[in-house]
Amino acid sequence: MSFRIRSVLVLAVGIALGLMLSVGTAVRADREAAAEKTQSLPTEDVRMLVEVLELVRADYVDDVDEHRLIEDAIRGMVSSLDPHSAFLDPDEYREVRISTAGAYSGVGIEVVLEDKQVVIVSPIEDSPAFRAGIVSGDVILSVDGAPIDPDSLEDTISRMRGKDGTSVVLGVHRPGDGTTFSLTLTRELIQVASVKARTLEPGMGYIRVTHFSETTGRDLERAVLRLKKENSGALQGLILDLRNNPGGLLDAAVEVSDIFLETGLIVSADGRVNDARFSMNAQPGDALDGSPMVVLVNSGSASASEIVAGALQDHGRALLVGSHTFGKGSVQTVMPLSNGRAIKLTTSRYFTPSGRSIHEVGIDPDVEVLREVGDSTVITPSGIPIAEDDPALAVALKTIKEQKTILQSKAP
C-alpha cells in the first residue's frame, strides 16, 4: 500500500472525539473519475445560492465580506454532512499537520483554558519553558505584550509558536506566591512525547500512550526494550494504557498493534472510492514473546485507540479493562483547497479484524471497571498514574497476574 493511501490520522476534538483523516491527493484521481459519472448541480439551486449571497451582501444591516460569506457557506455545507466533516481555514489546516507530526516550534508548554484563564498544565521536559522555571498552575497573561484572548485558547497557542530561534515574551502570573513576571523565551523544535513508561513492580511493565503521532510506534518499541532491560531482559506482563487517548495517525495505530501481534488483519476500511477501501496486516514478531497483556480503555478512548484495542481483543492477544470506548469508526480525508485551506470529508468506515464496525457503538471491555462519582486518577509529574489511587489500573494489574498464572499452569 502506498504512503499516500496509508497516511490516515485521528485527531482530538474536545476531550474524547477522534477524527480519522487521510491526505486528499491519494483519492483525487479516483474522485475525479467518479465525478465524470456525476450529474451537474441543478441550475436552480446554484441560482438560489447566488441570489442569497447577493441579497445578504446588498441588504444586510452591516457591511459583510463576501469572501467570508462564501467561506461560511462552505463551512456550513460540509459540517451539515456529519459531525466529523469540516472546512479548515489556514490556521486549522496548519494545526492538523502540526498535531500529527509529533513536533512543533515553540516554547514547550501544555495549556488549558480554565475560567477564562490560560493555565499551564505542565512544561515539556528540557524545553525553553522548563529551563526558564515555568511550573504547573502558572497562568499566562500576555504574549509579546498583548493580553491573551480569554475566549480563544488557539489564538494564545498560535502566538506562542513561531520560527525556531525567534523570541517570545510571556507575561506570567504564579497563583502559588501571587507574583507576576515576564519571561523572554527562545523558540525551538519541541518533540511531543506520546509514550510514557515505567515498571509497576518486578516483571510488570506499564506504557501509557496519550496520542498517536509519527513517532509513537518507534517510541513504544524503545519503551518496551527499556522495560525489558530493567527487568532482566524479559517482561512477565504489560499494561497498555489508552484511556483518554482521542486518536492520531492510523499508521501509528497499526504499528503499535503490530508490535504485539504475530500475524493477521489489524484493520480494514470500506468506502465508495477504491483508495478508501484498504486493509492492513501484522508482520511476524511479538515484542513480548506472548507474555500477557491488558489494555486500559474508557469513554475517552477513540478512533486510533479503538483500532489498537479492537485488534488486540479480536486476536485474543490482550484483555480490555475499563469502560466502554467512544465509538468513532469513520475515516475523513483531508482535501487541500486553494490559499492554504482544506476540507476534511468522511470517505469510509473502518472495521476490526473480526469485521466489527465500532462506529457509534464502541468496544466493550472484557473486564468492566466503572468509576464511582468523585473518583479521580492521580497522575504523577512523569504522567504515570498511581495504582493505589486508580481502580482500573489496580484491576488491570490483578488481571494480568491471573493471566500469567493461567499461562504458567499450561506450560509443559
Q: What is the CA radius of gyration of the chain?
A: 24
Q: How much is the pLDDT for 262?
A: 96
Q: Identify whether 343 is part of a domain.
A: no
Q: How much is the pLDDT for 406?
A: 65
Q: How much is the pLDDT for 411?
A: 52
Among 8-22, 94-108, 132-146, 354-368, where is mean pLDDT lowest? 8-22
Among 200-209, 217-226, 353-362, 401-410, where is mean pLDDT lowest? 401-410
116 is an active site residue: no
Q: Identify whether 145 is part of a domain.
A: yes
255 and 132 in a single domain? The answer is no
220 and 165 in a single domain? The answer is no
Give the SS3 label for residue 379: strand
Q: Identify whether 156 is part of a domain.
A: yes
Q: How much is the pLDDT for 370?
A: 78
Mean pLDDT of all residues in 324-345? 88
Measured distance CA(241)–CA(338) in Å, rounded: 40
Question: Per the residue annotation, which of 241, 275, 314, 390 is the catalytic one?
Answer: 314
260 and 273 in a single domain? The answer is yes
Q: Identify whether 340 is part of a domain.
A: no
Question: Per the residue annotation, which of 194, 257, 303, 323 is the catalytic one?
Answer: 303
Mean pLDDT of all residues in 259-265? 97
Query: Rounded mean pLDDT of the chain?
Result: 82
Q: How much is the pLDDT for 157?
A: 86
CATH of the domain at 249: 3.90.226.10
Residue 389 burial (CB count, 10 A): 13
56: left (phi over 0), alpha (psi -120 to 50) or beta: alpha
Q: Cell 486510533 maps to which residue?
A: 304
Distances (CA, A) of 108 to 188, 285, 369: 8, 36, 35
CB contact at 8 A, 14 and 241: no
List, for residues 376-406, the tens digit of each pLDDT value. Answer: 444 443 455 555 578 899 999 999 988 877 6
360 and 235 in a single domain? The answer is yes
pLDDT at 20 over 90: no
pLDDT at 136 over 70: yes
Which amino acid, one-letter code, is at 391? P
CATH of the domain at 174: 2.30.42.10
Q: How much is the pLDDT for 364?
A: 95
- For residue 1, give the DSSP letter: -
Q: Hey, which of 59-63, 245-249, 279-283, 332-336 has the most confident mean pLDDT?
A: 279-283
What cell does 30 get?
A: 479516483
pLDDT at 348 over 50: yes
| Residue finishing a domain among 191, 219, 243 | 191
The number of domains in the chain is 3
Mean pLDDT of all residues in 348-376? 83
79 and 112 in a single domain? The answer is no
182 is an active site residue: no
Q: How much is the pLDDT for 21?
A: 46
Write a three-state SS string for 7-20.
CEEEEEECCCEEEE
Among 102-116, 123-137, 167-181, 251-265, where is mean pLDDT lowest? 102-116
Complete edge-to-edge strand list for the sheet that includes strand 237-241: 195-201, 204-209, 237-241, 293-297, 319-322, 367-368
| Residue finishing a domain among 191, 208, 235 | 191
87 and 109 in a single domain? The answer is no
219 and 356 in a single domain? The answer is yes
Q: How much is the pLDDT for 223?
A: 96
Q: Identify whether 355 is part of a domain.
A: yes
Q: How much is the pLDDT for 12?
A: 29
Among 81-85, 197-201, 269-273, where is mean pLDDT lowest? 81-85
204 and 286 in a single domain? The answer is yes
CB contact at 8 A, 315 and 409: no
Q: Give the helix/strand (H/E) hosting 266.
A: strand 265-271
Q: For residues 252-275, b (16+ Cβ closer than 10 Å) or e, as one string?
A: bbbbbbbbbbeeebbbbbebebeb
Q: Identify whether 337 is part of a domain.
A: no
| Residue finishing a domain among 158, 191, 224 | 191
Q: How much is the pLDDT for 265?
A: 98
Q: Hey, which of 149-153, 161-165, 267-271 has the most confident mean pLDDT?
A: 267-271
Mean pLDDT of all residues in 34-41? 54
Give this prediction's pTM. Answer: 0.74
23 and 68 in a single domain? The answer is yes
Q: How much is the pLDDT for 388?
A: 58
Domain coverage including residue 185: 103-191
Q: Identify whether 341 is part of a domain.
A: no
The percentage of residues in the chain with a pLDDT greater than 90, rounded to a whole number, is: 45
| Residue 246 banded pLDDT, cuts 50, 70, 90 | confident
Q: Identify whether 212 is part of a domain.
A: yes
Question: Per the residue annotation, which of 196, 228, 328, 344 is the catalytic one?
Answer: 328
314 is an active site residue: yes
210 and 263 in a single domain? The answer is yes
187 and 228 in a single domain? The answer is no
Residue 89 burial (CB count, 10 A): 14
240 and 288 in a single domain? The answer is yes
